[in-house]
Amino acid sequence: MADTSVMDKIVSLCKRRGFVFQSSEIYGGVGSVWDYGPLGVELKKNIKERWWKSLVYQRDDIEGLDAAILMHPKVWEASGHVAGFTDPMVDCKTCKGRFRADKLVDAKCLQKPSKQPGQHDACQLTEPRLFNLMFKTFMGPMEDSAAVVYLRPETAQGIYVNYQNVLTASRQRVPFGIAQIGKAFRNEITPGNFIFRTREFEQMEMQFFVKPGSDMEWFEQWREIRMQWHKDLGLNPAKLQWHQHGPTELAHYARAAYDIEYEFPFGWQEIEGIHNRGDFDLGRHQEYSGKKLEYYDQLNNERYLPYIVETSAGADRVTLTVLVDAYREEEVEGETRVVLGFHPAVAPIKAAVLPLMKKDGLGEAADAIYRDVKKAMPTFYDDSGAIGRRYRRMDEAGTPFCITVDHDTLTADSVTVRHRDSMQQDRIGTAQLVAWLRERTA
């Protein structure tokens, strides 16, 4: 059963604590576009950095790239997005609703009582029309068809058109990969579920170029690596599963495709796709650009167009997954404690420094410890209200460690460190504190 009340609580917590805000809220908001607040920007940045580190820094065979959002319009003809990146839509002339023709059974009409579109006597549905999901704009001073450019709907194409540049500049050899994190834009017809499906989002995509024939072996390797990455983020493995694309689901470019799905309160949904794209992409760019994109394998003296294995995850979608997976409510001493049990490495704030009281020199001692820890990691200082309340505020922000400064700090040069999940407390020497925290939050 879908539990949408949990989503409502998460959306409300995200606003209250500064994870995610509705875009342009003071003007009534703009549809399915979201802004990340002080805690949200840290959480998403930590997720992106973890992804980048695991691919670009920890491997020898992957290079990074940051291609521009605006590209030559022919890129989108070659990729198939101009002709094929479309949803069939029907409009209702009565209620002015617009619905995906292939998802009418899941849609709700705008009339009251709400029914499936087409089921009211008054419904007047048009024939399905194709609706392109790319945002169009104009480059230069003229707003005419010659100046049309698109906001990229995926980051992948920036990698394909740069494949030879990166190969030559980095002196890599096939098999090798290119990783990129960046914004993508889609004029989604059915956005929703908070930051799950939005019109502006970030992708973390890696394209791995391989010799034809070795593609399925690499595809299986990448499936394993990517699933493990999500588990290492601390996601509950019981809430992760594979979905294999059947023959009717496969995208035009794919030889094989699997989605990693997570069980959200609104059901099992894709968070990352792993695709064996064959030579579709380089083949098309070779054809449309007229430039040879073959790889020359010096060792074996052979030429071929590499096949591509793609791993494509949404940074916002993984952020939502981490938030949903981390959210829990517990009864503690007759009160409900809300906890975001993030993996410490992605937690936006790693530690909070809380003096038991401000007087007797505790405030000054806490301030000195705070300055010290803050140099090493994102740290928060809070000296207002009862200590229990301060702990709760930090639990709700997902802060793994609270450092309490008390009278013993002054005499024994040590602090109490309270663990977010177990609520257990350890006594740690002030001199060892930063190293102790570093070890547990990396």
Round the CA-based radius of gyration of the chain to a whole number and report it. Answer: 26
229 binds ligand GAP (CB under 6 A): no
Helix (H, G, I), strand (E, B) or coil at 186: coil
- Among 59, 104, 172, 188, indicate the residue that binds ligand GAP (CB under 6 A): 188
312 binds ligand GAP (CB under 6 A): yes
209 binds ligand GAP (CB under 6 A): no
Label residues 187-207 b or e (16+ Cβ within 10 Å = b): bbeebebbbbbbbbbbbbbbb
207 binds ligand GAP (CB under 6 A): no
CA 35 centroid distance within chain: 13
Instruction: Supply angle C-alpha 271, 273, 275, rounded to 5.
Output: 175
Report in angstroms how near the CB of residue 229 gets to ligand GAP at its nearest.
13
Structure tokens at 6: 């949990």
Minimum CB distance to ligand GAP smaller for 131 or for 436? 131
Q: How many residues does the chain have?
A: 442
Cis preceding-peptide flag for 212 (omega within 30 of 0): no
**What is the sign, positive or negative, of the torsion defined by CA atoms of 312, 317, 318, 321?**
negative
Distant-in-sequence contacts of 333-337, Cβ < 8 A, 24+ apart: 337/392, 337/395
Indicate the residue type of 380. F
Q: 361 with 367: CB under 8 angstroms?
A: no
79 binds ligand GAP (CB under 6 A): no
**Candidate ranges 200-208, 293-301, 322-330, 334-342; the one touching ligand GAP (CB under 6 A):** 200-208
100 binds ligand GAP (CB under 6 A): no
261 binds ligand GAP (CB under 6 A): no
Report in angstroms how near the CB of residue 192 gets to ligand GAP at its nearest.
10
**Candidate ranges 77-85, 102-110, 199-207, 292-300; the one touching ligand GAP (CB under 6 A):** 199-207
Minimum CB distance to ligand GAP smaller for 270 or for 372? 270
Structure tokens at 264: 């959200």
Within 272-311, which residues bind ligand GAP (CB under 6 A)?
272-273, 310
How many residues lie near ligand GAP (CB under 6 A)? 19
Where are the alpha helices (H) located in 120-188, listed in sequence order?
156-160, 163-170
Where are the alpha helices (H) located in 207-300, listed in sequence order?
215-232, 280-289
177 binds ligand GAP (CB under 6 A): no
Report in angstroms how near the CB of residue 68 gets to ligand GAP at its nearest.
17
193 binds ligand GAP (CB under 6 A): no
Residue 433: name the closest of 358, 377, 359 by CA.
Answer: 377
Helix (H, G, I), strand (E, B) or coil at 59: coil
324 binds ligand GAP (CB under 6 A): no
Structure tokens at 386: 């009862």
- Among 152, 186, 284, 392, indicate the residue that binds ligand GAP (CB under 6 A): 186
> Which residues are CB-neighbours of 288 under 8 A, at least 6 positions away?
74, 77, 78
Within 101-160, which residues bind ligand GAP (CB under 6 A)?
154, 156
Report in angstroms how near the CB of residue 185 gets to ligand GAP at its nearest.
9
Report in angstroms how near the CB of residue 200 gets to ligand GAP at its nearest.
8
- Among 317, 343, 390, 392, indicate the residue that binds ligand GAP (CB under 6 A): 317
Q: Which residue is nearest to ligand GAP (CB)?
A: 314
Residue 442: name the closest of 379, 377, 373 by CA.
Answer: 377
223 binds ligand GAP (CB under 6 A): no
Minimum CB distance to ligand GAP smaller for 250 or for 377? 250
Report in angstroms how near the CB of residue 148 gets to ligand GAP at its nearest.
21
**Candidate ranges 73-81, 196-204, 322-330, 431-439; the one touching ligand GAP (CB under 6 A):** 196-204
- Among 42, 91, 316, 395, indicate the residue that binds ligand GAP (CB under 6 A): 316
Residue 118, Cβ density class (10 Å: 0-12 exposed, 13-18 middle, ≥19 buried): middle
Q: Which helix (H) or strand (E) holds 12?
A: helix 4-17
Site residues (vs ligand GAP, CB under 6 A): 154, 156, 186, 188, 197-198, 201, 203, 205, 270-273, 310, 312-314, 316-317
